[in-house]
Amino acid sequence: MRITGGRLRGRVLSGRVPAGVRPTGSRVREALFAVLGQDLSGLEVLDVFAGTGLLSFESLSRGAERAVLIERSRKNAAGIRASAKALGVEDRVQVVVGSSPSAIPASGRFDLVLMDPPYGEDPFPHLLAVAPLAGWRVVVELPDRVDAPLVPGLELLQVRAYGGTRLALYTERSD
């Protein structure tokens, strides 16, 4: 698991991919940040279903100010903390152990919300939980056979397909 862009480009996350975790592939990550932009300076990131934390580390590498990562497995959360320390970004990372949507902070705003739920898990309840916290963009990774849900409070901007993966990009509804 190698970071594909930014100041940490080329750095490898420590440890193995935990069982049951499906990290976002490098091609999809590169495409995602081509859409979002390479400069995420000052953004606050919420990473729901963090897994290895790779998407958050990609964001921090590109200048995001801080990342809050939600991970249900204590073991995976410990791996995220170890990777943050090895990458020298531990002061910009907060790992919350718990299940979404109950672990999602009840208040605050996040410029970028990243959500990569386990395939087969309905993203809709999690999107409902993050909608009030979402600012600039919400990105949901879905299997190619799943349609992007319409969510009150969020506007679906686009859906892009990359092999067997789809990325749904939302923004805060302005009406």
In a domain, 127, yes or no: yes
Beta carbons within 10 angstroms of residue 53's beta carbon: 29
In a domain, 8, yes or no: no
pTM: 0.92
Tell me, yes or no, whether 125 lies in a domain.
Answer: yes
Do the Cβ atoms of 171 and 145 come closer than 8 Å?
A: no
Beta bridge partners of 48: 70, 115
Residue 91 forms part of a structural domain: yes
pLDDT in tens, 72-104: 999 999 999 999 999 999 999 999 999 878 888
Residue 56: domain span: 26-172
Domain count of the chain? 1
DSSP line for 107-124: S--EEEEEE-PPTTS-SH
Q: Are strands 165-172 and 154-162 parallel, antiparallel or unpaired?
A: antiparallel
Which residues in the chain show pLDDT less than 70? 175
User: Is residue 3 a part of any domain in this protein?
Assistant: no
- For residue 74, tell me if it sits in a domain: yes
The CATH number of the domain holding residue 52 is 3.40.50.150
